[in-house]
């Protein structure tokens, strides 16, 4: 049976990370998608499209969605990209929308919860929120790709980050680019 993965998309730059993550999850997982209103605006601006076929979409306003409950079993949640606002909400257990509620539930149920942060530089508040979320069980990642695989295009850069997310979710992929020494 395919794993069930929840993908949250919040309003940070880097919608291509969400796009490539959904591309790589396609056919390998039952994907539940929550996109915040600001994320939708930024996706329009960054010319990234999300399609019906990407997964089962849940309105961020729908706090009665099954995804809002600990009884909804899944194999991991990823927020990519994760804004500092959403990080703040997750790290403080503040759950005004379905995205933050689903992350809160993932943490309390001890399920994998990966936050792919996108901001630069980080303030002390951001750093403290990262530590809070980490200590509560989240995996903190940044949208900072490596270069040792000699990427020739943006997709290759983005995929190098997506590969680490998939590794943490335990989902097989063939992205490549693993460091094998000089």
Ligand X SMILES: Cc1cc2nc3c(=O)[nH]c(=O)nc-3n(C[C@H](O)[C@H](O)[C@H](O)COP(=O)(O)O)c2cc1C
Binding residues (CB under 6 A) for ligand X: these are 10-13, 36, 38-39, 42, 45, 83-86, 118-119
For ligand X, the closer of residues 141 and 149 by Cβ is 141
Main-chain phi, psi angles of 97, to 5 degrees: -135, 175
Listed in sequence order, the residues at least 6 apart from 86 whose beta carbon sits closer than 8 Å to its beta carbon are 8, 10, 11, 36, 79, 99, 100, 103, 115
For ligand X, the closer of residues 10 and 166 by Cβ is 10
- Minimum CB–partner distance for residue 41 and ligand X (Å): 6
- Minimum CB–partner distance for residue 177 and ligand X (Å): 24
For ligand X, the closer of residues 100 and 149 by Cβ is 100
Asked whether the beta carbons of 114 and 138 are under 8 A apart, the reply is yes
| Helix (H), strand (E) counts: the chain | 6, 6
For ligand X, the closer of residues 149 and 162 by Cβ is 162
Closest residue to ligand X, based on beta-carbon distance:
11
Listed in sequence order, the residues at least 6 apart from 159 whose beta carbon sits closer than 8 Å to its beta carbon are 20, 24, 175, 177
Token reading at 179 = 């460091």
- Minimum CB–partner distance for residue 32 and ligand X (Å): 17
- Minimum CB–partner distance for residue 176 and ligand X (Å): 27
For ligand X, the closer of residues 69 and 95 by Cβ is 95
- Minimum CB–partner distance for residue 5 and ligand X (Å): 19
Asked whether the beta carbons of 116 and 79 are under 8 A apart, the reply is yes
Compute the distance between CA of residue 68 and CA of residue 158 in angstroms, rounded to an integer: 29
Compute the distance between CA of residue 90 and CA of residue 136 in angstroms, rounded to an integer: 10
């Amino acid at each position: 049976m395919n794993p069930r993965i929840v993908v949250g998309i919040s309003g940070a730059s880097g919608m291509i990370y969400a796009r490539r993550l959904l591309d790589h999850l396609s056919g390998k997982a039952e994907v539940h998608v929550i996109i915040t209103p600001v994320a939708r605006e930024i996706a329009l601006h960054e010319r990234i499209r999300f399609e019906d076929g990407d997964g089962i979409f849940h309105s961020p306003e729908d706090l009665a969605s099954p995804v809002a409950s600990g009884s909804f079993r899944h194999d991991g949640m990823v927020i990519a990209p994760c804004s500092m606002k959403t990080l703040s909400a997750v790290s403080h257990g503040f759950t005004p929308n379905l995205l933050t509620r689903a992350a809160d539930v993932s943490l309390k149920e001890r399920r994998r919860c990966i936050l792919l942060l996108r901001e630069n530089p980080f303030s002390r508040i951001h750093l403290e929120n990262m530590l809070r979320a980490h200590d509560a069980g989240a995996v903190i990642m940044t949208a900072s790709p490596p270069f040792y695989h000699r990427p020739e295009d943006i997709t290759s850069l983005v995929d190098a980050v997506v590969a680490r997310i998939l590794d943490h979710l335990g989902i097989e992929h063939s992205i490549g680019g693993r460091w094998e020494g000089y």
